A and B are shown apart, each in its own frame.
Chain A
């Protein structure tokens, strides 16, 4: 790698790598690490950032807004859950199966749905969540409405379970986060990443340049669904139980969409920004006003989204960019003034 290229990589990825390093030492910082509620919030931020990034592949980069991702999330959760609860083995084979099944289901249900465009595609994915939710509620093999409750097994990475400390979960969430963000970062620079954006910006144009848009959308959907299943599996290992409303619900689907849109859809850091704002808001509002009944967090979500969509449709990342531009203009203006001021 020549120095110029090294500079480019450091310039673009430097802040990012520093941030990841900070996350690694986080559990050793007493102020954060000691407190299990804060640790819990950190874990959820990383998990939902990862999950929203998975959604971002098809919903943000490729522009196919799916409200069906809780289905894939749920399939992953049930994959791990069934391995542990029904078969008494570690969750790993279940996680792998869940990812494959989720990708397959995604392709099968997207095939007809991709014939619909824009809002109609989004509406079709709504229906799919309801279908799977009801299906799992009456399916006895996966525990029906009661769901699956985890037995207590030996803690450690092998069983992906820890009893007292949350540190193990934290590092797993961090790995999950790095996998999804690293993958999307890699995609951004490659042909497939460019094709995703080209399909979003104009399907006919993309096709006129030799892009098979259906194949691109299906591949993006499969990848997105497999990653969603991976996140779902972690979610169930962390909660130690799963039932259909917990994972396969419109609430859940909505959360992935809102986090990404709030942060900045179709951008690498968008899901992280969104999760960093929304997850603490959700957890603290639940802790504070949970007694008022369910849904307080959703009211807060809704308000925030209205403000964002009206004020800056590009999300938090758009606000940050505006501030950056503004500062650059001011600097330029200041410099000019100084130049003029000099005799």
Chain B
């Protein structure tokens, strides 16, 4: 069963169509990657799903119920929680308190929330930063904090917006491990990502956007050979050359 179903979602900014009738599904227990070149409308789509922007058309269903016109906090309360691409730490609060705010979503009890927060800090390798003000973390730490905070809410669907951007490859590997662990613990993930080495090996399905339109929705193995995807990323000229070379290789 699909946990998240996006149907014909359209978002316009004036004359610019950022998302044009985009449809896809996220199945329970899977990792779905959302990729595309810069300006493809990935973050806009994210913002529509999480209620930050009202969609101009289409419908979004989560966990069997429509969430199209709901407010961000209502969507979060239903279990679809996101991180932000441009990190938004609660600067003057400590790292622990940041995560605690997330943990308070499911429990009003300070002790239970604190236990959950500690757990999430350790999952995201933030325990050593625990008592530091969140504003003073290095960028990698802030990205992990975004994840720990969202995770603390015990989401059904965790939506990560470019958590690996700007990370070193060691950090990327660490993040990939965390993501796999989360999937194994029963959390469904939707990941917007630029870093291909991060997303391709772990995604069960990849959705590709280009110019606001969905151009492919398939398993990662098929996506890398999809002509339209190659064209979107490399342009028509290189795409043709690439094709010619491959055909040449086949002949030879």
Contacts and interface: CB of A to CB of B under 8 A. Distances in A.
Interface of A: 189-191, 194-195, 197-198, 201-202, 204-213, 266
Interface string B139-181: 0000000000110010000000000000000000000000000
B84 interface: yes
B50 A208 contact: yes
B97 A194 contact: yes
B110 A209 contact: no
Contacts, number: 71
A57 B88 CA distance: 23
B73 interface: yes
B172 to A, nearest CB: 24
The interface centre, meaning the residue of A191, A206, A213 with most chain B CB atoms within 10 A of its CB, is A191
Interface in B40-70: 50, 52
A201 B90 CA distance: 5
Given A191-B113, A204-B88, A205-B88, A197 B73 contact: no
A201 B88 CA distance: 9
Nearest to A194: B101
A213 B101 CA distance: 13
Contacts of B82: 208
7 contacts: A190-B108, A202-B88, A202-B89, A204-B52, A206-B101, A209-B102, A209-B149
Interface of B: 50, 52, 71-73, 76-77, 81-82, 84, 88-93, 97, 100-102, 104-105, 108, 110, 113, 149-150, 153
Contact of B105 (A190, A201, A210, A213): A210
Contacts of B110: 189-191
A317 to B, nearest CB: 13
Given A208-B50, A211-B73, A198 B105 contact: no
A212 B101 contact: no
A190 B104 CA distance: 9
B97 A210 contact: no
A197 B91 CA distance: 10
A116 B160 CA distance: 30
Contacts of B52: 204
Given A191-B108, A191-B113, A195-B104, A210 B76 contact: yes
B240 to A, nearest CB: 43
A40 B105 CA distance: 46
Contacts of B73: 206-213
Contacts of B100: 194
B77 A210 contact: yes
Contact of B101 (A190, A195, A204, A266): A195
Q: Which 3 A-B pairs have the closest CB atoms?
A: A201-B90, A210-B76, A210-B105
Contact of A209 (B91, B97, B101): B101
A197 B97 contact: yes
B90 A198 contact: yes
